[in-house]
Structure 1
């Protein structure tokens, strides 16, 4: 029979195994009661006193030379996690007292200090680890408050102890309604707990074996045609640095799938890109094999450039961590860039006494043009510093420097106390030492485009010189961008215009709220 082939047999076996697995999961959900569970594990227990033994030698660290009662100091890292099947709320703790949740006991040791950390996905936990909320320690005990934990959330306790050596008993006790508090196996720092049990792993291995075998058969005799958007030749992509991560990924995919296509990237900013395309096109007998990406529309004088709306791009303000500002109003930003606010303590009575340093992009930057158009509603002041640290002339109203790339701006803002700058969203990546701020209380988010009042955003255009031939590499790559670039664009902070939501916002001219 024609259907009896190796790949079909494996596909049927995979389907049957999948059905059996689904039935087993349904049975488990109906028969096995869901439990609440808090697990804990010791991720580190190490000596940090005056003398630490290493093999046969004693290495004198000198950490507590002036405090001899700390000679036997140890440092313990304890991870507490909700590894059950349900979230745990405040009312699920059954300990005595309104605040008491769990108790940590370090037998034979005395607690000298505690630091609490939590994952970035669990910022809401911070307010629970205060003396007012019930966090305290006495002797060998730490009293933990009633901390609500969603599934898979965790926090860590870094505890300084004295009075005994490494390896003493450590135990967490407490009551959970319809649940348990139990110790998990020891793990390395920041090691994630296993996602699957033994049965799940066996099923996963079986399914993976079937799928990999089937995929291997298909790949070996792969005769599928290349994408319809493939074309041969060499294409140059220039322009926006905000869109560079997107085109870098798409370049690799396109060249891999489309034999005979070569894509070169020449990314130096939106303005530089559209002007280069205009020069190349004016001096050629036909439309050059070039695409210029631009944050916002081209200059009005470049009438030979034809634009295609590709995505809506998001940008954000970034501030050095020395400044605890999480939100800035449009009015405050404009006053800062006009030189009316020159010190962070002018924004709030408890603000840090730090001069404001403006770290900006150069004149070729589309990110800068969008900032001027959508946020400042004016041009930025002239550059007054070459090193971003000191003014080149004393009577400049504000210290402002210019850099020629996003990575340089982010690095400089993270390095300089009091610095502020701007950048494309890029999936939310900001280096250590800096953080993003909201504008008038609104954060940049692809999910809220269309309803949010967030102002720092713009349509991303792909420009060609005239209309490229339908069978050209230029046209093929632009179609490929629409058909295969959605996930890549979203990941890097852009809403594709080719999606239903993007079509509505881009096609309507996308007027900003207000």
Structure 2
């Protein structure tokens, strides 16, 4: 730290002192003036445990009720109910109807199947109140709780087994407290104690103190903010999928800006080339350990590369594009397959009056985008042999189709835009294609991140990140993968991918998602 004494610094120090004194005054006032009685509640867990659940990206079945169909959608909810006011609450403070009725818990669209009650270690007396005779009962989606006296800071927890819907449904606790309220608290760590002071006091003091101390810090002390927890130093090579390249470029730039000492190098040549390079480098490293490399792949690695460890990153969308001279905006799966088999060679067979030879502009054999196309769209059928090296003329006249290859997405798009009659494929990216080309739908279905998992659109696949073995927890490899999970969601979505780290993506990626064929 470097101290600089001048009049501005003196003013800053005085301002900081004023802020601290103001904070102390507000806190003193809070301790002297009683607050309202208050019961708060938190949803600390809401998780599936039925036969439909699977274990994250590893696709391991963990359902506790595999043999019980009516429990397939079973979920567990953990509620914490606490006295977080400044006064104790007795059974006479509850104003609910009925002699025994205290609070009511409602789980919308779910049915209560069982309840377990736990309590804090210093509140054994609470358990005497959780009996049917005391008023504990449940019916359908409702749990009725007895009038439980709670000293200040005391709490109890309800572990509830439910069926009838998936996680995330509304959960609400209602009831009346004389001269007080029942309110939901924001999420907190499972056993975190409720706040000592009121929200208004906390907000005022924190805001005032933060503003004044920040002013003093800017003027007096030079102290850089700590980097993100996922930051690590060293050099990392990221290779593989061209479809994921726009996402990787943005993440690389952000990571290097926020994490001093990290050098991330992109070496993008296609999914197959990337995973093969990772496997080769790992084998060469031998006992030295896992190389500082990540390979992104559109779809799973080849089965023979058994040393590669996978992490499911996103579900990626792809689309077909055609030259603007072709007046076609939609093709059926059958038409696409016939085009790529060579059964349809002129656009007039699809759109009368359009006399143009169909020219296929494809990716090379290293491309994961091409493999996804062959697997998902052509139904496990390979494309025909290349018949043109320059995408302008056939290398031999009797070739069944006009087909050329390019080694990158940008090169494919450029050729489709410049060659009349051309058709090719690309990842969705941000929805843009170059001037001279346009996207087409498949069987009338448009690719959209919003409809992944509910649409029959076939040209989509899981994006994998591979490492050679398990990288050390403090390595740049592990740090960048965690950073991708924590900060990459919006970047991925903008470029046509649904992140596996989102609630929807976690469910689809963890189930080994696949579209109908």
Q: Is the 8 A contact 1:238 1:273 kept in 2?
A: yes
The equivalent residue for 2:515 is 512
Partner of 1:355: 357
Q: Using the alignment, how far apart are the partners of 2:284 and 2:414 within structure 1?
A: 39
| Deviation, structure 1 residue 417 | 0.7
> What is the CA distance between 1:215 and its match in structure 2?
9.2
Match of 2:500 in 1: 497
Q: Structure 1 residue 424 and structure 2 residue 427: aligned?
A: yes
Across the two proteins, how many residue pairs are aligned to each other? 311
Q: Deviations over 1:100-155 (max 9, x none)?
A: xxxxxxxxxxxxxxxxxxxxxxxxxxxxxxxxxxxxxxxxxxxxxxxxxxxxxxxx
Query: 1: CA distance between counterparts of 2:482 and 2:217?
Result: 27
Do residues 402 (structure 1) and 405 (structure 2) align? Answer: yes
Tell whether the 8 Å contact from 2:328 to 2:351 is kept in structure 1 after alignment.
no
1:213 and 1:360 map into 2 onto residues whose CA distance is 61
Task: Map 1:189-204 onto structure 2 (within 5 A).
Answer: none
Residue 348 of structure 1: SS of its match in structure 2? coil
Structure showing greater relative contact order (alpha-carbon pairs closer than 8 Å, 6 or more residues apart)? 2
Gap change, CA 1:218 and 1:365, over 3 Å in 2: farther
Partner Cα separation in structure 2 for residue 4 and residue 461 of structure 1? 54
Contact persistence 1:309–1:497 (CA under 8 A): yes
2:348 matched residue in structure 1: 345
Equivalent runs, 1:154-303 vs 2, <5 Å: 223-284=224-285, 285-303=288-306
For 1:218 and 1:387, locate their aligned partners in 2 and report how far apart those are by CA, in whole Å.
62
What whole-Å deviation, never above 9, does each CA across 1:272-312 have from its counterpart, x for those lacking one? 00000000000102100000000000000000000000000
Task: Specify every segment of 5 or more residues in structure 2 that has no aligned partner in the other structure, as ranges.
Answer: 1-14, 24-210
Runs of 4+ in 1 over 6 A off after TM superposition: 212-220
Task: Please state how far the C-alpha of 1:330 moved relative to its aligned partner.
Answer: 0.6
Deviation, structure 1 residue 513: 2.7
* Matched-pair contact (CA < 8 Å) for 2:19–2:212: no
Secondary structure of residue in 1 paired with 2:255? helix
1:442–1:454 CA contact under 8 A, matched in 2? yes
Deviations 1:408-440 (A, max 9, x none): 110110001100000011111101110000001
Within the candidate set 466, 469, 481, 1:466 is matched to 469
Aligned with residue 393 of structure 1, among 392, 396, 418: 396
User: 1:3 and 1:354 mapped to 2: Cα distance?
Assistant: 80
Tell me the distance in 2 between the aligned counterparts of 1:322 and 1:216.
Answer: 62
Which TM-score applies when normalising by structure 1?
Answer: 0.58
Task: Tell me the equivalent position of 1:372.
Answer: 374
Q: SS at the partner of 2:386?
A: coil
Q: How far apart, CA to CA, are the structure 1 residues paired with 2:263 and 2:433?
A: 32
1:323-348 Cα deviation digits (max 9, x unpaired): 11110011000000111000000013
Partners of 2:215 and 2:328 lie apart in 1 by 54
Alpha-carbon offset, residue 252 of structure 1:
1.0
Residue 214 of structure 1 deviates from its aligned partner by 11
- The residue that corresponds to 1:452 in the other structure is 455
Aligned to 1:51: none
Sort the Cα spacing of 1:5 and 1:303 in 2 relative to 1 into closer, same or farther, 3 A.
Answer: same
Q: Secondary structure at the match of 2:322?
A: strand
Q: TM-score, normalised by structure 2?
A: 0.58
User: Structure 1 222/493 Cα, relative in aligned 2: closer, same or farther at 3 Å?
Assistant: farther
Q: 1:330 aligns with which of 319, 329, 333?
A: 333
Residue 79 of structure 1 aligns with which residue? none
**Contact 1:414 / 1:431 at 8 angstroms: preserved in 2?**
yes
Contact 1:308/1:461 (CA < 8 Å) preserved in 2? yes
In the alignment, the residues of structure 2 paired with residue 481 and residue 234 of structure 1 have an alpha-carbon distance, to the nearest angstrom, of 17
Equivalent residue of 2:430, what SS?
helix
Task: Determine if contact 2:461/2:514 at 8 Å carries over to the other structure.
Answer: no
Question: Quick check: 1:361–1:403 contact (8 Å CA) kept in 2?
Answer: yes
Taking the aligned partners of 2:224 and 2:276, their CA distance within structure 1 comes to 43
Q: What SS class does the counterpart of residue 506 from structure 1 fall into?
A: helix
Retained in 1: the 8 A contact 2:16–2:213?
Answer: no
